[in-house]
Amino acid sequence: MSEDTVTGHPLAPAWLRVPHDAAELDPAVFTGQYARDASGCVTVDGIPVTELAQRHGSPAYVVSERTFRSRARRVREAFDAALEPLGVQVAVYYASKALLCTSVARWAVAEGLGIDTASGGELAVALAAGVPGERIALHGNNKSAEELSAALDAGVGRIVVDSLPEVELLATLARQRGTRAPVMLRVTPGVHASTHEFIATAHEDQKFGLSLHAAADGEDSPALQAVAACLAQDDALELRGLHCHIGSQIFAAEGFAQAAERVLALRETVAGRWGLALPEIDLGGGHGVAYTAADSAREITDIAGDLASLLAKALETSQLPAPHLSFEPGRYIAGPSGCTVYTVGTVKTVTVSPGVQRRYVSVDGGMSDNARPVLYDADYTAVLANRVSPEAPVLSRVVGKHCESGDVVVKDVYLPGDVHRGDLLVVPVTGAYCWSLSSNYNWLPRPGIVAVGEDGVPREIVRRESMADLLARDPGAGADTTS
């Protein structure tokens, strides 16, 4: 059988197959909240997307509270089950940069998670949600004095220090308040994770963290220099432990294992030099999810089990007590919990080369509500959502309405041949980094977030923007320009 017969189209990527049934919802991507009702309409936790679009507009982000909470719970339970036999205590922080509003923060905390924030704005949302300060962490490679001050005033449980200058700044601010700042040092373990370069964060040549490698012979590494600086200012800084994060959307296990080994080795070095057994280690997040049939996401139980095996070996040869471990999943929880509902507009077919055509299906959103394809060359899939079609599938490219040729939502997908204006498409796994990265490019108001609650009732948890919202920020809007 030729490749073209397998893929069905010379422009299709090698992994994309012609579906036997274009209405089928691949369970690896369309997780348990999705189904089709008797009329053929896609439902989210039993609510037809036609109803959601009619009531809340299009495009719309739709999030399943049940799925979000169950995935958060599963992460916590998996790490607890794997590490408890080793006598290791575990904390899980939801990486709120993936998706954050007050409702989402409350869901995470209700499932026993803390909230990991990366800016003063994210910190403010977590506090507005009623999250206790001690269950919040603050990250960031360039925290301002105002952000650090807000964290200290809120009594956050940990401030992840990213540089030597930040050690000094935080100590000064803590002394002004007569308090000790709880510090984790973010270290760069030199791991080259298998992911897009823009979301790989543990190699040397990037902005995050304190390197484990010395800059010159005989000189301590930046990480060890930061340990020394914190201990020298013990009156203002309480050094809790070490933190690392190797990147995002990673499937391979090797990078996580290498990072854990190197951070644990640094902990041994600190104990040998200063006699201090750092009590906490944070190994970040970054575990990948399936966006298309080409992705093979690892089960969280396997991830936790691998880590437990590595830690058990490390503890056998160590004289130090087991550290308290923490993790920061974001995409793993939020990504599969959400989807985006779009309405189809223009449909056109273009000739790419003699005898080879591609169909472009334009929708009412695009890179303003999902920037990941243009930023990271990310792949998604889509289905015709408001009906089932008897027409044969056609290779299609789902594109947005922005004035950019790179405004692509789904690069390659087979959709029924009769998709037309007014149809609805659902793009799954948009719960993470889509709303967070959304913009008003071309002056498009940002969609709202509609949550289908555990009670089965859909409600807007972030209001859809209006044109009035956008104009409200322009002092000249509505001004008398005739004078």
Q: Annotated binding site: which residue ranges?
A: 286, 328-331, 372, 376, 404, 433
Integer Cα distance of 188 and 262 in angstroms: 9
Q: Which of 179, 129, 109 is nearest to 151 (CA)?
A: 179
Integer Cα distance of 111 and 134 in angstroms: 16
CB 352 within 8 A of CB 72: no
- Give the three-class secondary structure for 267: helix
Element (H, E) at 211: strand 210-211
CB 108 within 8 A of CB 328: no
Integer Cα distance of 66 and 458 in angstroms: 12
The span from the first CA to the last CA of the chain, in angstroms, equals: 74
Integer Cα distance of 437 and 368 in angstroms: 8
Catalytic position from the list 41, 101, 339, 403: 403
How far is C-alpha 367 from the chain's CA centre?
A: 17
- Give the three-class secondary structure for 397: strand
Residue ranges of the annotated binding site for pyridoxal 5'-phosphate are 286, 328-331, 433
Integer Cα distance of 432 and 311 in angstroms: 30
CB 6 within 8 A of CB 20: no
What are 176's two structure tokens? 């002004």
Q: Which of 193, 222, 420, 384 is nearest to 286 (CA)?
A: 193
Residue ranges of the annotated binding site for substrate are 331, 372, 376, 404, 433
181-197 burial by CB neighbour count: b if 16+ within 10 A, else e?
bbbbbbbbbebebebee
Backbone angles phi, psi at 185, to 5 degrees: -100, 120
Amino acid at 119: S
CB 474 within 8 A of CB 440: no
CB 179 within 8 A of CB 226: no
CB 136 within 8 A of CB 127: yes
Q: Which of 128, 231, 235, 227 is nearest to 177 (CA)?
A: 235
Q: Which of 124, 125, 162 is nearest to 140 (CA)?
A: 162
Q: Which of 5, 52, 74 is nearest to 385 (CA)?
A: 52
Catalytic residue flag (residue 41): no
Integer Cα distance of 115 and 109 in angstroms: 7
Active-site positions read 403
